[in-house]
């Protein structure tokens, strides 16, 4: 089902008018569709039917409490990369027993907290981290469930900033070293070996690299079995891509079917950590055109949203579709660079977009539900945008717009 559609030339999110929401809450603002989030999550659930599994939504993609709450009500687990994200999961009603803890810099404090809440698994990124977790667990008479993140050295064929499965990346442990580390782990009193994991990158538009990684990981599993190291689950990470422009990423069912087929006859629970493929196309960023401007070379639409609200275009050269909230009559399009007010040339949310617009019009930047608000900043002392969730025709404010005084309330003048 399409959750973002036009009715009488006016953009709707589910049954709610984007123009009315913008009028009530101002711009820029993020708007999410609850039904889209649910549908994207359920696609994974359906794909796994009949196979033991755990879907751990990657909190970093969109960590708003309402988003986490909607997913936790569907039974989701969560993949976290910080202690703060664990607090968010708990505050949103999520089950810590379904939490996987990824990330290569877990602090002592974060490890304590995760052990105390009884998470499902620590995804280990280095020998030093394993030693630290063991030590903390032993000191507390606890046992930490772990999986080792293996770097399968496959090319995810995605943007280098979001590719993580090559030898040269900082993530994971090489295939060669993994066996040794598992054997070492078997001797640690505070460690219980649960699984094997990998995550090779994001915005993958083919399942080939994931399947290649899985082949290598299954070979590693056989080597572990021959040394009496028995795991319960395999975690294939996240990374499934979405359609921003005209990409044709595989669906969860295509991915999961192929993974199940490879596991044929091997009794292992499958864990996945999807973020983008659940949240990206469940959200938009709505912004207003402040001014139109043209210099000799180009036309610009200067908007009230900027790279501090949505950094993907500036950071990765990412392309996101930009559409008018109210479609104008006629067909007199002009080509614009859609730029924000920030003093950086990189501050464009779209380039060379053909639109029929005037100052004062609203634009919707699509696919902004993942890596949107969460990567926003206050650069240029810009309060962060509010987040609104739509369910049918109901509109729920799920995060208020920051105020300027919020931004400097923790700053102090020198005395005197």
Element (H, E) at 88: helix 83-91
Kindly state the DSSP code that residue 305 receives in the 8-state scheme: -
Q: Considering only residues 212 through 241, tell me which ones interact with ligand PLP, judged by CB under 6 A.
A: 237-240
- Complex with ligand PLP: residue 61 or 193, whichever CB lies closer: 61
User: 10 Å Cβ neighbour count for 10?
Assistant: 15
Nearest to 284 by CA among 363, 384, 392: 363
**Count of residues in contact with ligand PLP, rule CB under 6 A:** 16
Q: d(Cα 283, Cα 388) in Å, to the nearest integer?
A: 9
Of the ranges 261-269, 270-278, 288-296, 350-358, which one interacts with ligand PLP (CB under 6 A)? 270-278
Residues labelled as active-site residues: 343
Q: Considering only residues 111 through 130, tell me which ones interact with ligand PLP, judged by CB under 6 A.
A: none
Our finding on whether 384 is near ligand PLP (CB under 6 A) is no
Our finding on whether 274 is near ligand PLP (CB under 6 A) is yes
* Partners of residue 1 on adjacent β-strands: none
Q: d(Cα 208, Cα 303) in Å, to the nearest integer?
A: 40
Binding-site member from 3, 34, 53, 60 for ligand PLP (CB under 6 A):
60
SS3 of 147, please?
A: strand
- Complex with ligand PLP: residue 159 or 293, whichever CB lies closer: 159
Q: d(Cα 127, Cα 219) in Å, to the nearest integer?
A: 21
Q: d(Cα 88, Cα 408) in Å, to the nearest integer?
A: 24
Of the ranges 35-43, 56-64, 310-318, 323-331, which one interacts with ligand PLP (CB under 6 A)? 56-64
Min separation Cβ 42 and ligand PLP, Å: 16
Binding-site member from 27, 221, 277, 391 for ligand PLP (CB under 6 A):
277
Residue with tokens 């009496």: 228
Our finding on whether 153 is near ligand PLP (CB under 6 A) is no
- Complex with ligand PLP: residue 79 or 304, whichever CB lies closer: 79
Q: d(Cα 337, Cα 408) in Å, to the nearest integer?
A: 32
Our finding on whether 372 is near ligand PLP (CB under 6 A) is no
Our finding on whether 273 is near ligand PLP (CB under 6 A) is yes
Our finding on whether 61 is near ligand PLP (CB under 6 A) is yes
Min separation Cβ 193 and ligand PLP, Å: 19
Q: d(Cα 277, Cα 183) in Å, to the nearest integer?
A: 35
Binding-site member from 64, 102, 126, 391 for ligand PLP (CB under 6 A):
102
Element (H, E) at 16: strand 16-17
Our finding on whether 283 is near ligand PLP (CB under 6 A) is no
Task: Concatenate the DSSP letters of all residues of 97-133 into one string.
Answer: GGEEE--S---HHHHHHHHHHT-SEEEE--HHHHHHH
What residue ranges bind ligand PLP (CB under 6 A)? 58, 60-61, 79, 102, 199, 202, 237-240, 273-277
């Amino acid at each position: 089902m399409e959750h973002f559609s036009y009715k009488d030339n006016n953009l709707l999110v589910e049954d709610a008018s984007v123009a009315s929401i913008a009028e009530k809450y101002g711009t820029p603002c993020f708007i999410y569709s609850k039904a889209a989030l649910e549908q994207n999550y359920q696609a994974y659930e359906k794909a796994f039917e009949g196979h033991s599994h755990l879907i751990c939504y990657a909190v970093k993609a969109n960590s708003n409490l309402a988003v986490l709450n909607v997913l936790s009500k569907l039974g989701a687990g969560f993949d976290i990369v910080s202690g703060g994200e664990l607090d968010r999961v708990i505050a949103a009603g999520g089950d810590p027993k379904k939490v996987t803890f990824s990330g290569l810099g877990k602090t002592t404090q974060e490890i304590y907290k995760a052990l105390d809440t009884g998470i499902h698994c620590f995804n280990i990124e280095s020998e030093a981290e394993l030693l630290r977790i063991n030590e903390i667990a032993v000191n507390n008479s606890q046992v930490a469930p772990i999986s080792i993140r293996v770097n399968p050295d496959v090319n995810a064929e995605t943007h280098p900033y979001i590719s993580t499965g090559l030898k040269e990346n900082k993530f994971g442990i090489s295939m060669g070293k993994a066996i040794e580390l598992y054997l070492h782990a078997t001797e640690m009193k505070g460690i219980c070996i649960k699984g094997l994991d990998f995550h090779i990158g994001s915005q993958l538009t083919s399942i080939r690299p994931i399947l290649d990684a899985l082949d290598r990981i299954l070979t590693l599993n056989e080597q572990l079995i021959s040394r009496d190291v028995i795991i319960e689950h395999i975690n294939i990470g996240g990374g499934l891509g979405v359609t921003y422009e005209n990409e044709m990423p595989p669906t969860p069912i295509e991915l999961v079917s192929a993974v199940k087929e490879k596991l044929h006859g091997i009794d292992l629970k499958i864990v996945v950590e999807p973020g983008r493929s659940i949240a990206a196309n469940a959200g938009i960023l709505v912004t207003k055109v402040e001014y139109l401007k043209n210099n000799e070379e180009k036309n610009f639409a200067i908007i009230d949203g900027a790279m501090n609200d949505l950094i993907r275009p500036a950071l990765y050269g990412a392309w996101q579709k930009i559409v008018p909230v109210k479609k104008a009559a006629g067909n007199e399009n002009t080509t614009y660079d859609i730029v924000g007010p920030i003093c950086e040339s990189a501050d464009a949310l779209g380039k060379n977009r053909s639109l029929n617009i005037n100052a004062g019009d609203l634009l919707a930047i699509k696919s902004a539900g993942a890596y949107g608000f969460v990567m926003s900043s206050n650069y240029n002392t810009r309060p962060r945008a509010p987040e609104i969730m739509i369910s049918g025709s109901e509109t729920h404010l799920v995060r208020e717009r920051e105020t300027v005084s919020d931004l400097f309330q923790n700053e102090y003048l020198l005395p005197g």
